[in-house]
Amino acid sequence: MQRLSVPLIGNILTLSLATVAMTLTSAYSATAGTLDLNFTKLQGLTGGNSGMTGVYRADLSNLGFDISSIAITDSNSAIGGAPGKFTAFDFDAIKISNVLVNNATDAKNLSGLNVFDFTSSGTFFTPGTQRSPVDPEPLFGVSGGGIIDNSLATLQNFDGNSTADANAFGFVSLGDGGTVVFNFKNPISTTSPLYLYIGEAGDNGEVVNGRITVSDKLRQVPEPTSLAAVSLLGIYFAVSRKKKTKAA
Ligand SMILES: [Ca+2]
Ligand SMILES: [Ca+2]
Ligand SMILES: [Ca+2]
Distance of CA 151 from the midpoint of ligand 1 (Å): 19
Measure 202 CA to ligand 2 centroid, in angstroms. 12
The whole domain housing 23 covers: 2-29+224-247
Residue 124 sits in the same domain as residue 228: no
Residues 75 and 89 in one domain: yes
Claim to verify: residue 19 and residue 37 sit in the same structural domain: no
| pLDDT for res 31 | 43
What's the gap in Å between 180 CA and the centre of ligand 3?
16
In a shared domain, residues 24 and 135: no
Rounded-to-integer distance, Cα 27 and Cα 204, Å:
43
User: Which ligand is in closest contact with the Cα of 87?
Assistant: 1
Q: What is the pLDDT of residues 10-48, one digit of tens each?
A: 333 333 333 333 333 333 333 446 767 778 999 999 999
State how far the Cα of 172 lies from the Cα of 55, in Å rounded to an integer: 15
| Same-domain check for residues 51 and 64 | yes
- What DSSP designation does 103 have? B
Q: Tell me, what amino acid is at 102? A: N
Which tens digit of pLDDT belongs to each residue from 73-132?
Answer: 998 999 899 999 999 999 999 999 999 999 999 999 999 999 999 999 999 999 999 999
Residues 141 and 56 in one domain: yes
Residue 237 has pLDDT above 80, yes or no: no
CA distances from 97 to 109, 115, 175, 230 (A): 11, 10, 27, 40
Average predicted confidence (pLDDT) for the chain: 80
> CA–CA separation, 217 vs 99, rounded Å?
24
Residue 128 and residue 179 in one domain: yes
Do 176 and 234 fall into the same domain?
no
pLDDT, position 209: 63
Indicate the number of domains in the chain: 2
Regarding whether 181 and 146 lie in a shared domain, the answer is yes
C-alpha–C-alpha distance, residues 184 and 53, integer Å: 24
Give first-to-last CA distance, the chain, whole Å: 14
| Residue whose C-alpha is closest to residue 67's, from 215, 213, 185 | 215
- Does 104 lie in the same domain as 21? no
Residue 16 CA to ligand 3 centre (angstroms) = 52
Laid out side by side, the sheet with 40-41 consists of 40-41, 53-59, 195-201, 90-97, 172-173
Question: Ligand 2 centre from 16 Cα, in Å?
Answer: 48
Ligand minimally distant from the alpha carbon of residue 153: 2
> Which ligand ends up closest to the CA of 95?
2
Q: Coil, helix or strand for 236?
A: helix
Task: Indicate whether 161 and 184 sit together in one domain.
Answer: yes
Report CA(239)–ligand 2 centroid distance (Å): 54
* C-alpha 81 – ligand 3 centre gap (Å): 5
Q: Are residues 20 and 80 in the same domain?
A: no
